[in-house]
Amino acid sequence: MILSVEKIQLLTIPGVYKTSFFFNSSNFSILLESDKLKFEDNFGFKSQIKGKVSNWDLEIVNQINTLDTSKISDALRSKLILKKEIDFLNAKWDKSFYGVYRDRVWNGSIGEAEIYTGYGSKLEKKHTWEVNGIKNTEVLSFGLAHLKAEALISKNLVDSLKGSLFYSLDQNIPLIVDKPKDKIIDRSYEYIYEPIKKGLSLNTRLAASYSLYNDGEHQEYIGLGFGPELILGDLKNKTFDYTRISFFPFYKFNNGDSVFKFDQISDKFTLNIDFDQQLFGPIILKSNGTLNLDGHSNDYGKFINSKISLNWKKRSYEFGIFYQPHNQAGGISFKLFGFK
């Protein structure tokens, strides 16, 4: 068995803000949360370990949000995943087993919900191919789990088996696209590691999901979405040489209810908006958000997910300061390109 520490997170700043940061081969970030804390709550630890167990990929994530020993049982969060690629039905699939303890999930306008304990297995196939310039990504997965999590309509915890089936097909269809002649870069490409494919394209998505719980409870949906994406510029000049704008409305035709809060189908109609703009040199403004357009929701017309960042982007790395209005969290991030 070979293990390596991929990510470490330390919570260190006392007083009003809780600051967390982690590092791995491609990502470093600090997250600020505006929660008033006791002295012991100003310190914590998070680690991510990846390795091999026989021919399985192993990932273990542990987090303790406080050094107050009276809160350890509530502050400890853990996740373990074992995964490997298998041959099934003449195709490559990812087979995984997992266990979670006190996992938190953000579910749109419903907000944050908690999975207290859970274990299960998932079989997933992901296939990407290109035909006549159209990029296709297809995902098919089957899952079975036993979960103890926050109930849909109360704060109580409920136990249930969950069987799930999911399918999605995403397409990027070029309408007016200027493809780079080759992917070779020279000294003029100071800010990116490969040439930009600019122009106007159409993104589409077809998705379907079915979940079955104890006592015959179930929920399912079919989702459809399509919207334009416009990319301008080469990101080679000093000012305003890159703009990316994307609008993606998505509608779900749903039926039934979950017994849990964390996976309840919500926000039937949403609009995803992305806007990236080079300001000067390596400085790029990035923003994205999900607007709730479900007329039956209490959060109609509000952004249920959102992020704004100001990034310093170079060919091999990207550094940024970000803020998430939907949960009032912010921090800094650092990414390295060219690492797996």
Q: What is the pLDDT of residue 111?
A: 86
Alpha-helical runs (H) found in the chain: 72-75
User: Which strand (E) or helix (H) includes residue 205?
Assistant: strand 198-213
Q: Phi, psi at residue 213, to the nearest 5°? A: -125, -175
Q: What is the pLDDT of residue 286?
A: 93
Q: What is the pLDDT of residue 144?
A: 98
Query: What is the pLDDT of the chain when averaged over all its residues?
Result: 83
DSSP letters spanning 209-274: EEEEEGGG-EEEEEEEEEEEEEEE--S-SSSS--EEEEEEEEEEEEEE--SBSTT----SEEEEEE
Q: Which pLDDT band holds residue 38 (cuts at 50, 70, 90)?
A: low
Q: Quick check: 28 pLDDT over 50? A: no
Q: Quick check: 8 pLDDT over 60? A: no
Indicate the length of the chain as a whole number: 340
**What is the Cα–Cα distance from 184 to 8, expressed in whole angstroms?**
35
User: Which strand (E) or helix (H) includes residue 161?
Assistant: strand 157-178
**What is the Cα–Cα distance from 102 to 66, expressed in whole angstroms?**
15
Classify 181 as helix, strand or coil. coil
Q: Which of 218, 79, 104, 98 is nearest to 161 (CA)?
A: 218
**What is the Cα–Cα distance from 195 to 181, expressed in whole angstroms?**
9
Q: What is the pLDDT of residue 54?
A: 85
pTM of the model: 0.79
**What is the Cα–Cα distance from 173 to 226, expressed in whole angstroms?**
10
Quote the tokens at residue 321.
Answer: 């300061």
Q: What is the pLDDT of residue 116?
A: 93
Quote the tokens at residue 246.
Answer: 């994307």
